[in-house]
Amino acid sequence: MLTQTNPAALDALPYAELAAPPVNEHSLLGLVELLLKAPAQLDAWTRDSSRQAELVPRLLTLALTSFAVFSLVLVLLFHAAKPEAVPFILEHWSRSAGPALALGLAYPVGLVAATGICLPTFYFFGLLAGVRISVLQVTTHVLKGKAATAVLLLGLTPIYLCITLGMLIFHADDMAVSAVLTTGLALPFLAGLWGVRSIYIGFLGLADTLPPERRCRRTCFLRRLTVAWATVYTIVTPVMIWSLYQNLVARLG
């Protein structure tokens, strides 16, 4: 069952549930339910130092599992498509195991690696704004956003799979198939906007740790720093995935 949180902490969040849903807080499915139904409750948990060490591995597992499932679906669809329909950005793509394994690993590893690279910057931005925050709390906030991205991506994957399979089964035009496959490559970044929003809302809730006399001005500064970090992360992530894919293709052949 969910535990009660400090009302003062929840006041800093955009909204708080009047009745949070009863879930198994120690299971991945319970975590998914919280992300969908009670995000403010999860935001409050990220501020609880006794829960952060427990939340980090669970959020990371949820993100990696969802990204791995999406990568597997993407690899199978690329394998089923004609070579002419494969987007030109995958110039090394073939039906051999090497490129397929490279693409399958590039997304889950690249998305998490990009988070690790940008994490120190996020922590520094928080300190610069004057927010009282620890490295573990920053990690929990960022992984919460990553898990939110993963949940949305997992929800979009069956829809994308049905559309693409329908086009392949009914032999749609190669250009149309190529456009749909390219959309699949971009789908994690589109879903990532939801994760960035989750981080933005949760991190702005920390403004209540600022001194009251400077809270208004510092909150505005914190908002700008959070947007700046989100921009940096949005740029780093596709570069990381692309570089990882190319390196893995070169090594796996």
The Cα 220–Cα 224 span in angstroms is 6
| Confidence band, pLDDT 50/70/90 cuts, at residue 23 | low
Other beta carbons within 10 angstroms of residue 119's beta carbon come to 18
1: pLDDT strictly greater than 60: no
Looking at every residue in the chain, the average pLDDT score rounds to: 81
pTM over 0.85: no
pLDDT at 71: 92
| Confidence band, pLDDT 50/70/90 cuts, at residue 253 | low
- Cα distances from 152 to residues 32, 38, 68, 193, in angstroms, run 10, 15, 14, 10
Q: Where does residue 194 rank: exposed (0-12), middle (13-18), buried (19+ CB within 10 A)? A: middle
Q: What is the pLDDT of residues 63-90, one digit of tens each?
A: 999 999 999 999 899 888 887 778 777 7
Mention every residue, 6+ apart, whose C-beta is less than 8 A from residue 241.
106, 107, 110, 111, 114
11: pLDDT strictly greater than 50: no
The Cα 252–Cα 75 span in angstroms is 15
2: pLDDT strictly greater than 60: no
Q: What is the pLDDT of residues 48-58, one digit of tens each?
A: 888 888 888 99
Of residues 30 and 191, which shows the higher confidence score? 191
Q: What is the pLDDT of residues 205-230, one digit of tens each?
A: 777 777 777 777 778 878 888 888 88
Q: What is the pLDDT of residues 124-165, one digit of tens each?
A: 887 777 777 888 888 888 889 899 999 999 999 999 999 999
Contact 222, 129 (CB under 8 A): yes
Closest-CA residue to 108 (of 230, 244, 225): 244
What ranges do the domains of the chain cover?
27-252
H-helix segments, 82-173: 97-129, 135-169
